[in-house]
Amino acid sequence: MSFKAPEKYRLKEGPMGSDESYGINGVFVIPIHIDCQIRCIASDGAGWEHVSISEMVNIKKKRPLVRTPSWNIMCKVKNLFWDEEDCVIQFHPPKSEYVNRHPNVLHLWRKIGVKIETPPKILIG
């Protein structure tokens, strides 16, 4: 099990800039095509590994569109930050615990040091 920073995508300049000395913590900008990119914020505090994901389209315009990431985008991000065999999750918490600070942003989580149990394959899909 490993949580890793895709260093070639790390944002190194500006107020959200960081470098390898920050460990996994930082902002990562992953190009998809000429006018689209994935923006991620990764952290590993309080016993959790976490990546928030948004998709930016029309990035060359003054006001780019923030789009909710697709399943394929989420899979790409998962495999950039974790190994292919690692299990990470998206939470759907009770309504009383729901927080939505940024519309169109999804999150991947994994509790540090805990193997996530999954249902039998026959039940998934």
pLDDT tens string 47-60: 999 999 999 988 88
Q: What integer pLDDT is reported at residue 117 of this predicted model? A: 92
Q: What is the pTM of this model?
A: 0.91
Alpha-carbon distance values, 31 to 54, 73, 115 (Å): 12, 11, 31
Q: What integer pLDDT is reported at residue 73 of this predicted model? A: 95
CA angle 55, 91, 40 (to 5 degrees): 30
Q: What integer pLDDT is reported at residue 51 of this predicted model? A: 98
Asked if residue 2 is part of any domain, the answer here is no
Q: What integer pLDDT is reported at residue 1 of this predicted model? A: 62
Decide: 38 and 69 in contact? Cβ < 8 Å: yes
Asked if residue 1 is part of any domain, the answer here is no
Asked if residue 28 is part of any domain, the answer here is yes
DSSP 106: E
Q: What integer pLDDT is reported at residue 90 of this predicted model? A: 95
Instruction: Report the domain count for the chain.
Output: 1
Look up the domain containing 38 and give its range.
7-123
Asked if residue 113 is part of any domain, the answer here is yes
pLDDT under 70: residue ranges of the chain: 1
Residue 109: both structure tokens together: 């989580």
Asked if residue 76 is part of any domain, the answer here is yes
